[in-house]
A = this chain, B = another copy of it.
Amino acid sequence: MRIAQVSPLYERVPPVLYGGTERVVSYLTEELVRLGHEVTLFASGDSVTHARLEAACPRALRLDANCQDSLAPHLLMLGEVYQRAREFDVIHCHTTYFGLPLTSFTTTPTVLTHHGRLDMHELGLIFCAYPQIAHISISDAQRQFQPGINWAATVYHGLPLDLYPFQSSQAPAPFLLFLGRISPEKRPDSAIRIACQAGLPLRIAAKVDPADQAYFETTIRPLLNHPLIEFIGEVNEEQKRALLGDALALLFPIDWPEPFGLVMIEALACGTPVIARRRGSVPEIVQEGVTGFVCETEEEMVAAVPKVTMLEREACRRAFVERFSVQLMAHDYKQLGKSNAVF
């Protein structure tokens, strides 16, 4: 099958550091190539792939100091994708609504996987204007703000099985982990309070976007002086693997409608359970009392910390293998093809 994978351009595929969407695009693309599909990946030129790479810009935009306008390269890329639509049996976009107006001018079907939150009412208007598009949610919870659009399936993110090796026991000196991005909705402040009250060290491995710099300085930095708290900053894949494998548990005290939360399944892949707040996708990812605890308040999360030692790390790994492998993700997209004739 001739598949166009159309990635955002903010990060390379896969990202060097942080970046959930482009990471998932990479895993899916490589798996589709492995399965024998003819995949063309539209992405930043520094991407690394076994698919045919069409470089939409020389470098990923987030870490490119020369980038002044990030929308224009996306529209330029999508323009090319749809000019070449006849070369593909399906166009799989990960670029929110940007390409939708172009879908009217081709009979090649478009599948649009949503990676972000969908609670802006303008989105519903543009989604509904293109009813022929197959929309994919990455959790059932993600659909809540746009119940009326043509949802074709929920396809959970998947990771290669060997990406995060299982670690049967935690590090000798147990610690909790906050991994990802410093921003108000990710609630690093909550993670810090939970760790302090639980009396366990917390390692914070997180990037700070320019937009969140003020929040970091005013709200988070003053909390970092506690002896239990260690701020590491943005980490690469190797550091991430070590941190995830060694942690007693991942703290995920988010307070926003998280569409998926890739870091939760990265933790599970290592055998590390997750203590999370019940928001967005969380109850779909974490199996209460098996792979972690789904809480509402900080008090509940503090109380969950001693309980994670009773969870089996093998059960976490098993849940990951059964529910969140890249093979399953690719399979789900192929199933979609059977019902909707798109993949």
Residue from the list B72, B82, B83, B122 in contact with A123, Cβ < 8 A: B72
Chain B residues with CB below 8 A from A76, complex form: 101, 125-126, 129
Residue of B67, B98, B102, B126 touching A102 (CB-CB under 8 A): B102
Q: Does A75 contact B (CB under 8 A)?
A: yes
Within A46-84, which residues are at the interface with B (CB < 8 Å)? 66-73, 75-76, 78-80, 82-83
Cβ-defined contact, B126 with A100, below 8 A: no
Expressed in whole angstroms, the Cα–Cα distance for A203 and B122 within the complex equals 39
A97 vs B98: C-alpha distance when bound (angstroms): 13
B97 x A75 contact (CB < 8 A):
yes
- Contact B122 A69, beta carbon cutoff 8 Å: yes
- The reply to whether A123 and B71 contact each other, CB–CB distance below 8 Å, is no
| Contacting pair A71 B71 (CB below 8 A) | yes
From A75, which residue of chain B is reached at the shortest CB distance?
Answer: B101
B104 x A101 contact (CB < 8 A)? no
A120 lies within 8 A of chain B by Cβ: yes
- Candidate in A67, A69, A102, A122 with the most chain B CB atoms within 10 angstroms: A122
For chain A, the count of residues having a C-beta within 8 Å of the partner chain is: 30
In the complex, the answer to whether B79 meets A129 with C-beta atoms within 8 Å is yes
Interface of A is mostly: helix
**For the complex, what is the distance from the CA of A68 to the CA of B67, rounded to whole Å?**
24
Shortest A296–chain B CB gap in Å is: 27
Checking B72, B82, B126 against A75 with a beta-carbon cut-off of 8 angstroms, the contacting residue is B126
What's the Cα separation between A69 and B97 when bound, in Å?
Answer: 11
Copies in the complex: 2
- The reply to whether A68 and B121 contact each other, CB–CB distance below 8 Å, is yes
Q: Give the residue of B73, B75, B83, B104 whose beta carbon is less than 8 angstroms from that of A98.
A: B75
- Cα A101 to Cα B100 in complex, Å, equals 11
Within 8 A of B (CB), among A83-138: 83, 97-98, 100-102, 104-105, 120-123, 125-126, 129-130
Q: A72-B123, A73-B122, A73-B125 are in contact. Are A78 and B101 (CB under 8 A)?
A: yes
Identity of the chain B residue whose Cβ is nearest the Cβ of A97 in the assembled complex? B72
In whole Å, how far is A65's beta carbon from the nearest beta carbon of chain B?
12
The 6 A-B pairs at the shortest CB distance, nearest first, are namely A79-B101, A68-B120, A105-B105, A72-B122, A69-B122, A69-B120
Extra contacts besides A82-B105, A102-B102 (8): CB < 8 Å: A70-B122, A72-B120, A72-B122, A75-B97, A75-B101, A75-B126, A76-B129, A82-B101
Return 22 A-B CB contacts under 8 Å, by A number.
A67-B122, A68-B120, A69-B123, A70-B122, A71-B71, A72-B123, A73-B122, A73-B125, A75-B97, A75-B98, A75-B100, A75-B101, A76-B125, A76-B129, A78-B101, A79-B126, A80-B129, A82-B101, A82-B105, A83-B104, A101-B101, A105-B105
